[in-house]
Every structure is written in C-alpha cells, then in structure tokens.
C-alpha cells in the first residue's frame, strides 16, 4: 500500500496524471478540489477556505488505506501545513508516502491549459490565469524526497510514476 500525493499548481496536469496512474496501480484518487467545489455548491462556508476539504480528503484517505487500497491525493498542497497532513497520515497508517510534484515547464502551455479549463468550467472554483499566478507566489518549495514530473516535457510519464510508487 502507498499514499501518493500529487502536488502542483492548478492546470499543470495533476488530475490527468493521477487518473492515468490510478488506473495502472490501481488506486483510489481523492481530489481536494472535488470536495471543495462540492462544499461550495452546498453553500458550506468556512473561515479558512479549502481547509475543510483537505480534512475531508484526509479522512477518506485513511478509510481507503485501512481497507488496503493505494491512495492518490490530488491537491495543490501549496504550503507546509497542508503537506503535513499527509506526513502524519502515512505515519499513523504505517504506509509509505510518495510525493509526485507535477509541473508544466512551459509557461505558455500552462497558461493555455488554465485558460481552456477556465473557459469550459462547470463551477466557479476553477481559477483563471491571474489566480494561478497568485497561487504560484504562495507556493512554498517542496523539501525532501519527491518525483518531479514535467507534463510538458514527459512524453509518457505514467510508467516512471508507477515505478516510483511501487
């Protein structure tokens, strides 16, 4: 069993890569955005936006790990406090934690992806390019072991990611 965390800015390809890797392992994919958008749709308000979504995903991940499933967390994970949730969960459940930091090494392509997602959005939570740049300023560098995957350069990243997680 493994707890994998796919981290990175919106629009870099985390969700797409997570889904493809999950199909190979197999693993449950738990996306913080899905929970966050659902809470918003049901008009659940919180003083710290996004905080509850991370907590809900951590609780669901713990259940899946307890059952014996591999789990992939799909979340921006911009700051150490968010990342610490996964460290604590992996220690509590006694499973390895593997971080996959997903980037898009070409700014023009990253912007194109973000703008395409924003144009086709089916809810208000999808950030525009300006918001992604704001998030980039908030994003703390990852320290420690991780696999960095550039979705612009990597022609077929699924195999190396599955190998890293295994």
Cα–Cα distance list, 62 to 25, 77, 87 (Å): 18, 18, 12
3-165 in CATH: which number? 3.40.50.300
pLDDT tens string, the chain, 166 residues long: the values are 999 999 999 999 999 999 999 999 999 999 999 999 899 889 998 888 788 999 999 999 999 999 999 999 999 999 998 999 999 999 999 999 999 999 999 999 999 999 998 887 765 667 889 999 999 999 999 988 999 999 999 999 999 999 999 9
CA 32 to CA 15: how far, in whole Å? 11
Question: Is residue 71 within 8 Å of 86, Cβ to Cβ?
Answer: no
The pTM of the full predicted model, rounded to 2 decimals, is 0.94
Can you give the residue ranges of every domain in the chain? 3-165
Return the half-sphere exposure (C-beta side, CA atoms, 13 A cut-off) of residue 42.
7
Distance of CA 79 to the CA centre of its chain: 13
User: Whole-angstrom Cα distance, residue 63 to residue 67?
Assistant: 6
């Amino acid at each position: 069993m493994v707890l994998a965390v796919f981290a990175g800015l919106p629009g870099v390809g985390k969700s797409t890569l997570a889904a493809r890797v999950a199909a190979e392992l197999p693993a449950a994919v738990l996306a913080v955005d899905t929970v966050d958008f659902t809470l918003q749709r049901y008009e659940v308000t919180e003083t710290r936006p996004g905080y509850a979504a991370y907590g809900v995903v951590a609780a669901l991940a713990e259940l899946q790990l307890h059952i014996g499933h591999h789990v992939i967390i799909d979340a921006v994970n911009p700051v150490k406090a968010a990342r610490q949730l996964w460290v604590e969960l992996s220690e509590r459940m006694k499973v390895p934690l593997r971080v996959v930091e997903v980037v898009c090494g070409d700014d023009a392509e990253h912007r194109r992806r973000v703008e395409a997602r924003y144009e086709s959005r089916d809810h208000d939570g999808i950030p525009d390019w300006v918001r992604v740049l704001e998030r980039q300023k908030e994003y703390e560098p990852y320290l420690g072991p991780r696999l960095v995957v550039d979705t612009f350069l990597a022609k077929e990243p699924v195999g190396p990611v599955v190998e890293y997680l295994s």
